């Protein structure tokens, strides 16, 4: 039955309907009424972070796991602090709803100089247009509920952020019309779909060594199992981009590992680049995905399918929805075959050498023997990410990283988001000291809500990704005694890790501790780098000067 709603109440109901049970943010006077409404609702729970930046990253991580996330902030001073996190969600296809309070419509009359005002009252919406796929200001009770439906649908369809501005005098306003949420579906042009799938199947059947290159949209559209079905049915192996890492477990026979141009392992690079038919599935040609354009891929031998476009060789199809295409391939008449291909190295048992200093390479070897299907590994930007190239994905081990937009400081707040998106997963955070000094104090939020994250802090005294490109004092950070942080926060446990044995025992104790966070400060030599980072920076270096 259509009915009328208070605008704020309807927004909360729609969040809940689409699986958003936690909203991250910080209140302010322009959004306080809506915070009160949320906190009195049993449909969503508010999670307070220390800074809005942390809330933005948490909501992004939540959206990556749960399919939709939301951050709620006040106007201006809150909204502009999530511009960077929203740009990242836009670039990496994470459907986050940005809910911003605003001065009341009545207050905005005559354009007064209200606190938190940017240039004019339209500025914030205009800015968010650069990194959202839909936006609205809920200033009209006659269409506010439809507007909420419209922008949420856009987030779900495009897997990208949307912006909802809620003036404070509209939160409790009743809609003027009765309304009922209608589910909108995205559908394909059936004829175009049939033709595209048919053509693709024929090309694949004629190819000698086809390979799937799976990208981030397989995660976003929840197609991981469909991809495995497709690979198992056809026998075609699956490589993944670094942004999509964990899209397929490494122990499946069809798994190739990460393809990343010159940054990746030589045998995978060679296998993919000599293929006569690369089938891109939701993968984007970003610089990091392609090892800073060291990739040598011939488009004339490719089938390129994403939610944005479907191209076969040199022609494109319109109105073919990416999930439909992937399911179409499963149902298509593609022959099964045996293809010889490299497989990811199985983790070797780790034998800690008592007094041997820990290195990045050995840290990740140890982690490969540590992580389980009940963990989610979150790698921040820096060597934490590059080294993660060699992280083994057991069964359903999840992996998250901002491997395209690459904003430092994602991982600690992301652990908050992943916890609420799936409390059964234990967050394992890999973060460098530079990134930690940006947002690491969101450990406070982790402490506040009793999240049992394991935070592995790679302390190499600065921005180690930059040192090999061009070094100077600007790449140093102030040295913190990170292990003292549990004393500041009145929660958690910490370990100083200098040797392989320290690491062994700290990880064991962290695994056993579930009352709160564990922080491992891992001392890495200033010039120690993962093999993958060494390969990459030798390329980046050429561009700097």
Contacts of 373 (CB under 8 A, 6+ apart): 394, 395, 396, 397
Closer CB to a second copy, residue 101 or residue 257? 101
DSSP 418: H
Question: At closest approach, how far in Å is the CB of 290 from a second copy?
Answer: 9
Kindly identify the residues of this chain, within the stretch 300-359, that bind a second copy according to CB under 8 A.
Answer: none
At its nearest, how many Å lie between a second copy and the CB of residue 486? 9
Count other Cβ atoms within 10 Å, centred on residue 146: 16
Binding span for a second copy by CB under 8 A among 86-94, 190-198, 259-267, 337-345: 86-94
Q: Which residues contact 542 (CB under 8 A, 6 or more apart)?
A: none
Distance CA 343, CA 250 (A): 8
Structure-token pair, residue 391? 């992280």
Cα distance between the two ends of the chain: 65
Shortest Cβ 39–a second copy spacing (Å): 5
Site for a second copy in 57-76 (CB under 8 A): 76
Q: How far apart are CA 251 and CA 272, in angstroms?
A: 19
Q: Point out which span in 266-274, 362-370, 483-491, 506-514 binds a second copy (CB under 8 A).
A: 483-491
Residue 109 or 333: the one with the smaller Cβ distance to a second copy is 109
Residue 29 lies near a second copy (rule: CB under 8 A): yes
Q: Does 543 bind a second copy (CB under 8 A)?
A: yes
x/- string (CB under 8 A) for a second copy, residues 105-124? --x----xxxxxxxx---x-
Q: How far is the CB of 52 from a second copy (least distance, A)?
A: 8
- Distance, in Å, from the CA atom of 218 to the CA atom of 487, rounded to the nearest integer, reads 42
CB of 507 to a second copy, least distance (A): 23
Query: Which residues in the 199-258 window bind a second copy by CB under 8 A?
Result: none
Q: Which residues contact residue 188 at a Cβ distance below 8 angstroms, ignoring those fewer than 6 apart? A: 319, 320, 321, 324, 325
Work out whether 540 is an interface residue with a second copy (CB under 8 A): yes
CB atoms near residue 27 (< 10 Å): 20
Q: Which of 24, 271, 482, 517 binds a second copy (CB under 8 A)?
A: 482
Q: Which residues, other chains included, contact 151 with Cβ-Cβ below 8 Å and sequence gap of 6+? A: 97, 134, 135, 136, 162, 163, 164
Distance CA 482, CA 499 (A): 17
Please, which of residues 150-169 interact with a second copy by CB under 8 A? 168
Smallest gap from Cβ 359 to a second copy, in A, equals 24
Per DSSP, the three-state class of 82 is: helix
Among 224, 311, 319, 475, binds a second copy (CB under 8 A): 475
User: Whole-number minimum distance, CB 112 to a second copy, in Å?
Assistant: 7
DSSP letter (8 states) at residue 122: T
Q: State which residue, 129 or 202, has the beta carbon closest to a second copy.
A: 129
Determine, following the binding rule CB under 8 A, whether residue 51 of this chain makes contact with a second copy.
yes
Footprint of a second copy on residues 279-298 (CB under 8 A)? 284-289, 293
- Least distance in angstroms from the C-beta of 123 to a second copy: 5
The nearest distance, CB 438 to a second copy, in angstroms, is 4
Q: Is 510 a residue that touches a second copy (CB under 8 A)? A: no
Looking only at residues 397 through 416 of this chain, which bind a second copy when binding is defined by CB under 8 A? 404-409
Number of neighbouring beta carbons within 10 Å of residue 336? 9
User: Looking at 172, 195, 296, 311, which residue binds a second copy (CB under 8 A)?
Assistant: 172
Name the minimum Å distance from CB 12 to a second copy: 14
- Bridge-based pairing of strands 96-102 and 135-137 is unpaired
379's enclosing H/E stretch is: strand 375-379
CB of 542 to a second copy, least distance (A): 11
Q: Where does 120-219 show beta strands of DSSP type E?
A: 135-137, 162-167, 210-214
46 binds a second copy (CB under 8 A): yes
| Binding segment (CB under 8 A) for a second copy, from list 135-143, 331-339, 464-472, 499-507 | 464-472
Instruction: Decide: is 470 part of the binding site for a second copy (CB under 8 A).
Output: yes
3-state helix/strand/coil string of 238-282: EEECCCCCCCCCCCCCCEEEECCHHHCCHHHHHHHHCCCEEEEEC
CA dihedral 152, 20, 71, 10 (to 10 degrees): 60
Can you tell me which of 484, 525, 527, 538 binds a second copy, judged by CB under 8 A?
Answer: 484
Count interface residues toward a second copy (CB under 8 A): 87
């Amino acid at each position: 039955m259509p009915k009328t709603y208070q605008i704020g109440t309807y927004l909360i109901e729609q969040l809940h309907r689409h699986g958003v049970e936690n909203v991250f943010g910080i209140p302010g006077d322009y959004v306080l009424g809506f915070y009160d409404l949320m906190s009195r609702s049993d449909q969503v729970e508010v999670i307070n972070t220390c800074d809005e930046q942390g809330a933005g990253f948490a909501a992004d991580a939540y959206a990556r796991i749960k399919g939709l996330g939301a951050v709620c902030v006040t106007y201006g001073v809150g909204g502009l602090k999530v511009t960077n996190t929203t740009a990242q969600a836009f670039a990496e296809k994470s459907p986050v709803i940005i809910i911003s309070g605003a001065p009341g419509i009545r207050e905005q009359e005559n354009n007064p100089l209200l606190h938190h005002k940017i240039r004019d009252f339209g500025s914030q919406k205009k800015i968010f247009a650069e990194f959202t796929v839909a936006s609205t200001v809920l200033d009209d009770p006659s269409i506010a509920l439809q507007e909420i439906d419209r922008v949420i649908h856009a987030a779900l369809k495009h897997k990208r952020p949307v912006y909802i501005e809620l003036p404070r005098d509209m939160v409790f306003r009743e809609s003027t019309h009765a309304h009922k949420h209608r589910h909108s579906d995205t559908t394909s042009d059936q004829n175009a779909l049939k033709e595209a799938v048919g053509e693709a199947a024929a090309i694949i059947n004629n190819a000698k060594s086809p390979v799937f290159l799976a990208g981030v949209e397989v995660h976003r559209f929840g197609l991981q199992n469909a991809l495995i079905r497709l690979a198992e049915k056809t026998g075609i192996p699956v490589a993944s981009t670094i942004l999509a890492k964990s899209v397929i477990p490494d122990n499946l026979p069809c798994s190739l590992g990460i393809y990343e141009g010159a940054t990746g392992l030589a045998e995978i690079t060679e296998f993919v680049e000599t293929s006569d038919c690369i089938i891109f599935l939701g993968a984007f040609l970003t610089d990091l995905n392609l090892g800073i354009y060291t990739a040598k891929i011939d488009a004339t031998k490719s089938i390129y399918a994403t939610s944005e476009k479907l191209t076969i060789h040199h022609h494109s199809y319109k109105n073919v929805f990416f999930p439909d295409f992937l399911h179409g391939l499963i149902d298509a008449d593609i022959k099964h075959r045996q293809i010889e291909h490299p497989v990811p190295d199985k983790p070797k048992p780790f034998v800690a050498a008592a007094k041997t200093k820990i290195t990045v390479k050995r840290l990740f070897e140890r982690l490969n023997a540590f992580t389980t299907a009940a963990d989610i590994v979150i790698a921040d930007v820096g060597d934490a990410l590059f080294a993660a190239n060699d992280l083994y994905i057991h069964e359903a081990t999840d992996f998250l990283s901002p491997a395209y937009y690459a904003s430092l400081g994602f991982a600690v707040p992301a652990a908050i988001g992943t916890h609420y998106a799936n409390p059964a997963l234990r967050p394992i955070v890999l973060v460098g000291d530079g990134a930690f000094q940006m947002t690491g104090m969101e450990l406070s939020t982790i402490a506040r809500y009793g999240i049992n994250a394991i935070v592995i802090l790679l302390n190499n005294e600065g921005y180690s990704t930059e040192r090999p490109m061009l070094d100077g004092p600007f790449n140093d950070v102030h040295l913190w005694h990170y292990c003292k942080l549990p004393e500041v926060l009145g929660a958690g446990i910490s370990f100083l890790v200098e040797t392989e044995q320290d690491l062994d025992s700290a990880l064991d104790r962290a695994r056993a501790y579930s009352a709160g966070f564990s922080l491992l400060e891992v001392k890495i030599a200033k010039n120690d780098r993962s093999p993958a980072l060494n390969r990459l920076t030798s390329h980046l270096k050429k561009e700097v000067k």
